[in-house]
Structure 1
Amino acid sequence: MKEVGDTGRESGDPDEGREGRRGGLPNLPCILLTNAHSIGNKLEDLRNRIRNDEEFQRCDLIFITETWVKKEHIENNKAVINVEGYEEKHFPRDTDRTKKKKGGGLGVLIKNGGELTKRDEKQTPCYQLVAFSYEARNQPPLYFILVYIQKEGKNKKNGNWEITKQGIEQSYRKGLNNGGPVFILGDFNWYKGFDNNDTFHQYVTCRTRKNNNWNGRTEYTTLDKCYGNVPEAYSSQCRPPLRSRKTESDHCITLLTPEHTTCTHDKWWLTSRRNLTSSQVLVKAVTTRTSLLLLLPLLRLVRVL
């Protein structure tokens, strides 16, 4: 893993100067999100897209749920996807804690130049969660919480929705201490506990999963989502699902492209401060205002040039 600030990019890289096109201010990373429904039989397709698809190549982070990767697959830090220019991290399902032997698993691909550090991990029969802090060149400190919520979680009689909500919100509160925006993303299945929450903004607007109903009709719904405490941070587009020679995932790939939000403005913490103490809000306000004052001379120089 490279040190923070080491970009790993050579001259002529298509991403070079991307921050300049947004006025020299920090940008959010470009993201791909998908439920692979087992990457083992779709590795060829995934590798080909990363190597040859320009949209994949622009992405700084690729988040994958339901990898179906097991502990024995990653013994001795063995790479599963093994694509040059990316580091990969896998978090297999713990069969003892989840009471499930098959499926599950979370994975992340990190483009060279980014530093991803695990901060939290939870596994229960209701959900799997891994939280990371992320830093890269010309980007603010970010906090990502990748989740996969089990289908059984919709059984409200067992109180699973409440257990799931409590676990994710606990990790979210930890993320606020990271000093930057917090994003929660992954496969939420039918869980909608954050849809009507004033703290979170949901960026995925396309239909991400194909449902084949009992009557033969095909319907599409949004199960893969990305929430954050930054208004209008990302726009979403759906791309074809990962495929093997005989089958394909029932979830499409979601491309999350940063909007013009730079996360240097007060608005990200304004949506978060209801969860903080008054002293914490004051510290964030002073820090943000100081950062803006330091940027003003640079912005004036850019205008002159």
Structure 2
Amino acid sequence: MDMDSSTPRLVYSSNFLHALRAKSCIGVVPCLPVDVRKPYRGCRAGAMLKAKRLAKKWRFKPPVPSMIMGNVNSLPNKIDELAALTKNLKTFRECSLLCLTETWLTASIPDANVELPDFSTVRADRDTKACGKRKGGGLALYVNKRWCNPGHVNIKISTCCRDIELLAVSLHPYYLPREFSHAIVVVVYIPPRADAEAACDVIHSAVAKLQTQHPEALVLISGDFNHATLDNTLAAFHQYVDCNTRGKRTLDLMYANVKDAYRATPLPALGKADHNLVLLKPHYTPRVRRLPTTTRFSGSGLLTKPSRL
């Protein structure tokens, strides 16, 4: 008791207060004096806070996967920079897929040298015998583990010839709209001197086979097409890259079998690569949100709820 002041008050020593936080008190509610107890003041609320919580909850569950694609011109000497980007930048860290072409990977380079934290790696190195070239080429697909479980990543088709390198991967993510059974990502690299018509025929055969087996799948085709396009080969697919990727030319393209699904944003090149990276942000509205609201009647009264497929 402090006797010098006019109003008597309680004074607690630091040892007494620190003793309340000792390990022996964990799991046991101490008997605190009334003047030391922290009053309960509720929790934060508001529309802005609820929107932030909802965005944080669904940031790894987009309706269609977000994607960063581009030609990297040798990945082993740029893997440290890519790892730093995926660790420090939100754009790379929360991206669902990284589709990279011309990785220049060979069988002598183990997977441990090109792995990224929180990403599973799928690679397709160039077959020198089938392709006839020793250097260049190679495909790599990095799948965010927070978007899709690594056990649900399966290689469907892997092709390498003189005219094209193709890798098709089946993905079953944690969330997709009901209109899609799963996602199939096709990564393509067409060399500059390849036969464009023969390369498009290979892509058409692979995509037709995949769509026959999985008619309700979301199919994404990305890569370095150089002088080839799929505008006449796959008329039902939509192309979304509308920015320059190398100088004043658009060589890296992305096709999808869904309309109004993405918006493209150019990014700086990785290291000293001569191609810019491209960020494809999801812009797709699920079908359940596009359908009109249905009104149903029941014995208890009027019920109004959105339609569901």
Q: TM-score, normalised by structure 2?
A: 0.70
Equivalent residue letter for 1:18? R
**Could you tell me which residue of structure 2 aligns to residue 32 of structure 1?**
68
**Could you tell me which residue of structure 1 aligns to residue 119 of structure 2?**
86
CA RMSD of aligned residues (A): 2.8
**Could you tell me which residue of structure 1 aligns to residue 191 of structure 2?**
150
Structure 1 unaligned segments of length 5 or more: list them.
1-11, 21-25, 154-159, 211-219, 267-288, 294-299
What per-residue deviation string (whole Å, max 9, x for no partner) do you get for residues 235-270 of structure 1? Answer: 100100001xxxx1011111011103336799xxxx
- The answer on whether the counterparts of 1:47 and 1:81 sit within 8 Å (CA) in structure 2 is no
Cα 1:263–1:81 change in 2 (3 A) is farther
Deviation at 1:232, TM superposition (A): 1.3
Equivalent residue letter for 1:175? L
Q: Secondary structure at the match of 1:261?
A: coil
Deviation at 1:59, TM superposition (A): 0.4
Any residues of structure 2 matched to 1:1-305 within 5 Å, and which? Answer: 16-18=57-59, 27-74=63-110, 78-113=111-146, 114=148, 115-139=152-176, 140=180, 141-153=182-194, 160-176=195-211, 177-178=213-214, 179-194=216-231, 198-210=235-247, 220-243=248-271, 248-262=272-286
- The answer on whether the counterparts of 1:79 and 1:88 sit within 8 Å (CA) in structure 2 is no
Q: Secondary structure at the match of 2:286?
A: coil
Equivalent residue letter for 2:135? K
Structure having the higher Rg: 2
CA distance in 2, matches of 1:63, 1:169: 20
Structure 1 range deviating more: 33-42 or 135-144: 135-144
Cα 1:19–1:123 change in 2 (3 A) is closer
- The answer on whether the counterparts of 1:208 and 1:254 sit within 8 Å (CA) in structure 2 is yes
Moved over 3 A (4+): 12-15, 263-266, 300-303
CA distance in 1, matches of 2:232, 2:288: 25
CA distance in 2, matches of 1:13, 1:204: 29
Say which structure is richer in helix.
Answer: 1
- The answer on whether the counterparts of 1:38 and 1:69 sit within 8 Å (CA) in structure 2 is yes
Structure 2 unaligned segments of length 5 or more: list them.
1-52, 295-303
What per-residue deviation string (whole Å, max 9, x for no partner) do you get for residues 28-66 of structure 1? Answer: 011110110001221221111010011001201101000
- The answer on whether the counterparts of 1:27 and 1:263 sit within 8 Å (CA) in structure 2 is no
Cα 1:196–1:261 change in 2 (3 A) is farther
Matched positions, count: 235
CA distance in 2, matches of 1:14, 1:81: 31
Equivalent residue letter for 1:41? N
What per-residue deviation string (whole Å, max 9, x for no partner) do you get for residues 57-86 of structure 1? Answer: 120110100000101112xxx323232211
CA distance in 1, matches of 2:285, 2:210: 19
Q: Secondary structure at the match of 1:130?
A: strand
Q: Secondary structure at the match of 1:118?
A: strand
Structure 1 range deviating more: 65-74 or 171-180: 171-180
Q: Of the two structures, which has the highest relative contact order with CA contacts closer than 8 Å and spacing of 6 or more?
A: 1
CA distance in 1, matches of 2:127, 2:287: 35
Cα 1:196–1:163 change in 2 (3 A) is closer
